[in-house]
Amino acid sequence: MRALVDIPEKQIDQLAAICEVKKLSRAEAIRQAIGLYIEQNKSGSEEAFGLWKDRKVDGLTYQEQVRSEW
């Protein structure tokens, strides 16, 4: 996908300097930055999926036990 984004000139200059040092295209640096932003801001639901997979507990049995305490 292509996107039109307004970026301040100062940031463009700083990005150009980084790209020159790292031998990256500006587009690749921006893709990496977006990927890092997404990784850092993921919802917790993805991290919680499979949270109990290594436990030696049957989910239904555990649920019934906890509910019986109510």
Tens-digit pLDDT profile for residues 12-70 = 999 999 999 999 999 999 999 999 999 888 876 666 777 777 888 888 888 898 899 88
49 phi, psi to nearest 5 deg: -60, 125
Give the pLDDT of residue 41: 86
With bands split at pLDDT 50, 70 and 90, how would you rate the model's confidence at 7?
A: very high
Q: What is the reported pLDDT for 43? A: 74
Q: Are 25 and 33 in contact (CB under 8 A)?
A: no
Position 7, amino acid: I
SS3 64: helix
> Would you say residue 6 has pLDDT above 70?
yes
pTM score, whole prediction: 0.59
* Dist. CA 66–CA 11, nearest whole Å: 54
- Within 10 angstroms of residue 50's Cβ, the number of other Cβ atoms is 8
- The secondary structure of residue 59, as a DSSP letter, is H
